A and B are shown apart, each in its own frame.
Chain A
């Protein structure tokens, strides 16, 4: 635990503010843990922790000491130490990745993704997404590397029926954590113009918004998930009308959290977007190369509290 408190002082950037969904309660600027505790008269009955990465791009080792931007940052074995600390603190932790685990260092050129998937498995990842660079050695290589993956590779908007990934990739997965049902589905970016056709072969790209509506309907309405998470490799934000995570959040409903990737976006804090129903969606992305890990703690009450109860979001 002493190692963990070390992270808190050195490595943790934490900005607090509170947003409410109920208009009646108007909190103004609130900062610091001390003041927050005033609003927590009783302990929450359940706590789910999400750890997430994106665009790790085969950065198994930390950046070298002479790197002008990211000296000594990242590295799988330090990330694993952090994960172990979090999991020992809260076993109800899901570890997720938003895609592009492959390509970027010689580890991928030499071993084709084997080491990336083996290490993600050892670190206890639950699910990952298919980023565009997963296709870099061809779609058949993804299928081959899945042999080394103990986690779920998810995607809902690629029709993979006529490819070697047919039956190996699920649109969504349900995780039961401490009695909570967490539904995770994943979306991939349009491949045409980004990945050579001879690499993605017969993969058919489907509209992410339509597919998100379909998936959330299943996860929220049919499977009664307590929380719905979207792993997205669409990109954080584009000025054009190209679909991105912010637009996806606004144009859909029943998504609680979008874990994004592709644009290698470093955010000061997760974005909070209003969805179709006016509910808050958290959109996050943590740069790339395993420099950061995102951590999001969801606290649940189990007393059937009334619906207009305010939701506190500290980001």
Chain B
């Protein structure tokens, strides 16, 4: 008996080097950080100079929008996504055409890249930082019709409201591809120029068709700056959901 008890004692010491501690209760809660909580002055003072420098550059009003818009507003295509893709088409095409003699046929950005909504009211430089905080630049890929079809199949398969322009993609009631057009025309056997972000060109969001591009022209034009320029050009931003990417009903 004595032997056994010693053995037991040694074993228990080895297994639990200190006092045994048993987890007996877990209590979980979530606290919303709202304006009912006081600000911490020390931290506010620390942030102030950083904030002031940014505020100077952010607050100038560039345009106005009567309605708030979010990427989750609708399926397949949304006002905010359409605005972004149309802005790329409108602002990047003259630069691309001037540089290469070719025209941009289509634009595709990614849904995940729309990083915030736009509130109703004034649009400022800050708005552009909110929707496009990344430093990505506009890039134009030269595509065969085969790769363009791969792009369209990607849209049809994912059924996500990735911002597009220049394209029309129609799915049937079963969700399969019904019809696809570029600038109102059927896809032909020729080279297409598709503008996007250099993030997607490098295989971001699994848009692998960009990896097969014949040629990529980077425009040295940050998407955020493009949106700032677009907002400056317009008085009112009031995009709508349209028919560029839809599913037919039975």
Contact = CB atoms under 8 A, between A and B. Distances in A.
B117 A68 contact: yes
Contact of A106 (B46, B120, B126): B126
Interface string B35-79: 111111111101100110110011000000000101000000000
Interface in A26-73: 40, 44-46, 58, 60-62, 64, 66-69, 72-73
B126 to A, nearest CB: 7
Interface of B: 16-44, 46-47, 50-51, 53-54, 57-58, 68, 70, 115-117, 119-121, 126, 129-130, 133-135, 198-199, 202-206
B32 A73 contact: yes
Contacts, number: 224
Contacts of B22: 300-305, 309
Interface in A179-209: 179-180, 192-198
A80 interface: yes
Given A46-B21, A64-B119, A108-B133, A295 B29 contact: yes
B133 A80 contact: no
Given A81-B39, A197-B202, A226 B119 contact: no
B30 A292 contact: yes
B56 to A, nearest CB: 11
A98 interface: no
Interface string A279-303: 0001010100011111111111111
Interface residues of A, number: 90
Q: What are the 10 closest A-B residue pairs judged by CB atoms, nearest first?
A: A304-B20, A299-B25, A315-B28, A77-B43, A297-B27, A77-B39, A78-B37, A80-B40, A77-B40, A10-B36
Interface string A1-18: 001001100111110000
A243 to B, nearest CB: 16
Contacts of A113: none
B27 A299 contact: yes
A130 B121 CA distance: 36
A311 B26 contact: yes
A313 B33 contact: no
Contacts of A311: 23-26
B78 to A, nearest CB: 15
A151 interface: no
A75 interface: yes
B154 to A, nearest CB: 13
A3 B17 CA distance: 41
A282 B26 contact: yes
B28 A80 contact: no
A299 B26 CA distance: 6
Contacts of A73: 32-34
Contact of A309 (B24, B35, B47, B203): B24
B37 A11 contact: yes
Given A77-B40, A109-B129, A300-B21, A196 B26 contact: no
A60 B48 CA distance: 11
Contacts of B44: 77
B199 A196 contact: yes
Interface in A129-180: 136-137, 179-180
Given A105-B129, A296-B28, A79 B33 contact: yes
Contacts of B31: 7, 11-12, 82, 292-295
Contact of A193 (B24, B134, B205): B205
Interface in A80-139: 80-82, 84, 103-111, 115, 118-119, 122-123, 136-137
A39 to B, nearest CB: 9
A296 B24 contact: no
Interface string A238-271: 0000000000000000001000000000010110
A11 B203 CA distance: 42
Contacts of A84: 40
A235 interface: no
B93 to A, nearest CB: 25
Contacts of A197: 202
B33 A290 contact: yes
B204 A196 contact: yes
